Chains A and B, each alone.
Chain A
Amino acid sequence: DTGVSQNPRHKITKRGQNVTFRCDPISEHNRLYWYRQTLGQGPEFLTYFQNEAQLEKSRLLSDRFSAERPKGSFSTLEIQRTEQGDSAMYLCASSLPPDRVGDIQYFGAGTRLSVL
């Protein structure tokens, strides 16, 4: 499978615990994005990497959230001290630079987080 891969697919945790999600983008894509989607809403942008550099963080990304892409390949998203409001689907997407075949983003299947 050469698409965007996310793990785990589902995560159930208790409030206050830390969780970490992983995203493996399509191999030649240098851009990687994290989005969050809650029920009945479209995905909302969280953060963006170009290679290993994190270039933008949304105001939605509180201090409890941190994302890394250490070698410009896979990325991790960590949520510390989870709250019930963090329950959502966390989507990862990747793309080539816009000057190559446009700026189409391809999404992984997501990690569904439930905070009890």
Chain B
Amino acid sequence: RKEVEQDPGPFNVPEGATVAFNCTYSNSASQSFFWYRQDCRKEPKLLMSVYSSGNEDGRFTAQLNRASQYISLLIRDSKLSDSATYLCVVNMGFDYKLSFGAGTTVTVRA
């Protein structure tokens, strides 16, 4: 079983729509959680950290459910520039290794 699993999508949404997707992680001892964004053939870039209480950054909202071991990302009022692959990332916390999901592809159309 992979450490982090994501729905690969693609999610094709019109501009202005809301899109949400989840990922699940297998190790209950995981401590840190992130969403990274990766554009085609570019490096991953941190979108946001995910905190237990849930957190929001502009149009992006992340939630963490430790009991069910899943993380979600919601994008409101989608922009064309939101088109990318979103990588769910988990860190055990006491070590250094990031475990990545395979990514969820989002395409926002005009």
Chain A interface residues (CB < 8 Å from chain B): 31, 33, 35, 40-45, 48, 50, 55-56, 58, 91, 93, 95, 98, 102-110, 112
Is the pair A109, B43 in contact by a Cβ cutoff of 8 Å? yes
The residues of B that contact A45 with a CB separation of less than 8 Å are 97-99
B50 → chain A closest CB, angstroms: 12
- Report the bound CA distance from A74 to B77 in whole Å: 41
Binary contact readout B93-105 vs A (1 if CB under 8 angstroms, 0 otherwise)? 1011111111100
Is the pair B43, A42 in contact by a Cβ cutoff of 8 Å? no
With contact pairs A42-B4, A42-B87, A42-B103 given, residues A105 and B98 touching in the complex (Cβ less than 8 Å): yes
The residues of B that contact A55 with a CB separation of less than 8 Å are 96
B80: Cβ under 8 A from any A Cβ: no
Chain B interface residues (CB < 8 Å from chain A): 4, 8, 32, 34, 41-46, 49, 87, 89, 91, 93, 95-103
- Report the bound CA distance from A103 to B34 in whole Å: 10
The residues of A that contact B89 with a CB separation of less than 8 Å are 42
Is the pair A31, B101 in contact by a Cβ cutoff of 8 Å? no
- Report the bound CA distance from A92 to B100 in whole Å: 14
Is the pair A107, B32 in contact by a Cβ cutoff of 8 Å? no
Is the pair B49, A110 in contact by a Cβ cutoff of 8 Å? no
The residues of B that contact A98 with a CB separation of less than 8 Å are 93
Is the pair A106, B46 in contact by a Cβ cutoff of 8 Å? yes
- Report the bound CA distance from A106 to B100 in whole Å: 14
- Report the bound CA distance from A110 to B5 in whole Å: 23
A52 → chain B closest CB, angstroms: 15
